[in-house]
Amino acid sequence: SRTFNFSAGPAMLPEAVMQKAQAEFLNWHDTGMSVMEMSHRSKEYMSVAHQVEADLREIMQIPDNYKVLLTHGGASLQFSAIPMNLTNEGDTVDYFKTGVWSTKAIKEASRYCNVNIVAGSDEMNPTEIPPQSEWKFSADAKYIHICSNETITGVEFQEDQLEAVFAQGKPVIADMSSNIMCREIDVSKYAMIYAGAQKNIGPAGLAILIVREDLIGQARKMTPTLMNWQTYADNESMFNTPATFAWYLAGLVFQWIKSAGGVAAIAAVNQRKAQKLYDYIDQSGFYSNDINKSQRSWMNVTFNLPTSGLDAVFLEESKAAGLLSLKGHKAFGGMRASIYNAMPEEGVDALIDFMQQFAAKHG
Ligand code: PLP
């Protein structure tokens, strides 16, 4: 009778996290208050906040010369904040255009500086990152921006491509909203990493920024106070009232990751989950996935049925089987199973079982 939620975001949270949050909901650590009701300046809440940062630093092995900032406005606000904090008018920046999210980032950056598209097509939903032979970096770019995982199609930058980006020797900025903490990464190779919380971190309402310290303090004069990274760095991300409950829940997720053996252990499960789902799709003779095989996302697995006429039936029957939110993004169509860190392997097994039965019935 258990349900599994494949939503792309806000996405499911680990069951153990939800149980802990429920147990502490009305009375956190015998304070007689919910975390939601505490002053963000109280010593109780500050202890929560400090632990969240310490745990994140531990699980992502964030070097000391990086600041962790917790901000408002989701990942989208950073689409504008990044050029405001790092460029002056007339500067050039390099962007990969690999899907809807990087295209939105480009649109915002174009308001403030000259954007060079390193690679990408005019297609709204490309099914691959173009080969390195087609990449065109500009000589004077202030930074290179990538969306490391395009959530809508399920196209993800691979290690060799990332290495080729780092090899340019420019500050590399990554929107990791949909794949942060899905595998181990070397934070020191990035100048800045950002992610909306509502997939692998916690509930919506919070974004996490990991920024190399030397990049803070250069914002344009016109930058709104709450978009200037310095404001967050100087005030422990509490210049104004932060999203306290989302911040606390993110902390429970980080503790869950630690108790599961850290990001390396979670990555091993993620790889198995993605591999078995893609393997099944490829050999099914019924379902198909159009993404370049070497760039398929571990987190967002898109697939099509033999005819779109079956989509509604698939969604209805999968929902009845307790497999929720499998509809693909309207911009791409088809189905999408988002299998973030919190999705247990049994959820993917249950999905494959259902897909087999559906194919047998409707094939
Ligand atoms: N970037 C990526 C890769 C996303 O998947 C999303 C949301 O789904 C966003 C950015 C936008 O995030 P937010 O809604 O937090 O602004």
Q: What is the pLDDT of residue 124?
A: 79
User: Considering only CA atoms, which residue is closest to atom 2 of ligand 1?
Assistant: 177
347: amino acid identity, one letter: G
Per the domain annotation, does 206 fall within a domain? yes
Per the domain annotation, does 89 fall within a domain? yes
Q: Is 75 annotated as a binding residue?
A: yes
Q: Is the peptide bond before 10 cis (omega within 30 degrees of 0)?
A: yes
Per the domain annotation, does 165 fall within a domain? yes
Residues 108-137, mean pLDDT to the nearest whole number: 94
Give first-to-last CA distance, the chain, whole Å: 26
User: Considering only CA atoms, which residue is closest to atom 10 of ligand 1?
Assistant: 75
With 0-12 CB in 10 A as exposed, 13-18 as middle and 19+ as buried, what is 64?
Answer: exposed
Q: Which of residues 259, 293, 317 is at a domain's end? A: 259
Q: Is the pLDDT of residue 316 over 90?
A: yes
Mean pLDDT over the full length of the chain: 97
| Whether residue 248 is found in the same domain as residue 324 | no
| Whether residue 54 is found in the same domain as residue 187 | yes
Q: Is the pLDDT of residue 150 over 70?
A: yes
175 Cβ inside 6 Å of ligand 1: yes
Q: How far does residue 10's CA lie from ligand 1's centre (Å)?
A: 10
Q: Which of residues 224, 239, 259 is at a domain's end? A: 259
Q: Is the pLDDT of residue 156 over 70?
A: yes
Active-site entry in 28, 94, 97, 101: 101
Per the domain annotation, does 104 fall within a domain? yes
Strands 300-303 and 114-120: unpaired
| Whether residue 145 is found in the same domain as residue 217 | yes
CATH code for the domain of 118? 3.40.640.10
Q: What is the pLDDT of residue 138?
A: 98
pLDDT in tens, 80-109: 999 999 999 999 999 999 999 999 999 999
* Token pair belonging to 231: 């404001």
CB 287 within 8 A of CB 281: yes
| Whether residue 177 is found in the same domain as residue 308 | no
Q: What is the pLDDT of residue 88?
A: 97
Residues 153-178, mean pLDDT to the nearest whole number: 98
- Domains contained in the chain, number: 2
Query: Which of the 8 DSSP states describes residue 296?
Result: B
| Whether residue 250 is found in the same domain as residue 277 | no
| Whether residue 292 is found in the same domain as residue 345 | yes
Alpha-carbon separation of residue 46 from 30, 51, 58, 68, 341 (angstroms): 16, 8, 18, 15, 27
Strand partners, 301: 337
Place of tokens 């480009």: 106
| Whether residue 100 is found in the same domain as residue 221 | yes
Q: What is the pLDDT of residue 2?
A: 79
Q: What is the ipTM of this complex?
A: 0.99
| Whether residue 279 is found in the same domain as residue 236 | no
Per the domain annotation, does 22 fall within a domain? no
Q: Which domain holds residue 333?
A: 4-15+261-362
Distance, CA of 190 to CA of 21 (rounded, Å): 33
Atom of ligand 1 nearest to the CA of 77: 16
Q: What is the pLDDT of residue 122?
A: 78
Q: Is 41 annotated as a binding residue?
A: yes
With 0-12 CB in 10 A as exposed, 13-18 as middle and 19+ as buried, what is 76?
Answer: middle
| 175 is an active site residue | yes
Q: Which of 7, 70, 71, 76 is the best mutation target for the ligand 1 pocket, counting ligand atoms within 8 Å of the beta carbon and taking the most?
A: 76
Q: Which of residues 203, 234, 259 is at a domain's end? A: 259
| Whether residue 252 is found in the same domain as residue 347 | no
Q: Is the pLDDT of residue 1 over 80?
A: no
Q: For residue 112, how far is the Cα from the chain centroid?
A: 25
CB 181 within 8 A of CB 257: yes
CATH code for the domain of 325? 3.90.1150.10
| Whether residue 189 is found in the same domain as residue 76 | yes
Q: Is the pLDDT of residue 123 over 90?
A: no
User: Considering only CA atoms, which residue is closest to atom 4 of ligand 1?
Assistant: 177
119-128, 201-210, 298-307, 335-344: segment of lowest average pLDDT? 119-128
Active-site entry in 94, 175, 229, 256: 175
The rounded percent of the chain whose pLDDT value lies above 90 is: 98
| Whether residue 58 is found in the same domain as residue 120 | yes
| 101 is an active site residue | yes
* Token pair belonging to 142: 């202030």
Place of tokens 């929902």: 319
Place of tokens 């921006």: 145
Q: What is the pLDDT of residue 49?
A: 97
Per the domain annotation, does 29 fall within a domain? no
| Whether residue 207 is found in the same domain as residue 318 | no
**Is the pTM value of this prediction over 0.95?**
yes
pLDDT in tens, 222-273: 999 999 999 999 999 999 999 999 999 999 999 999 999 999 999 999 999 9
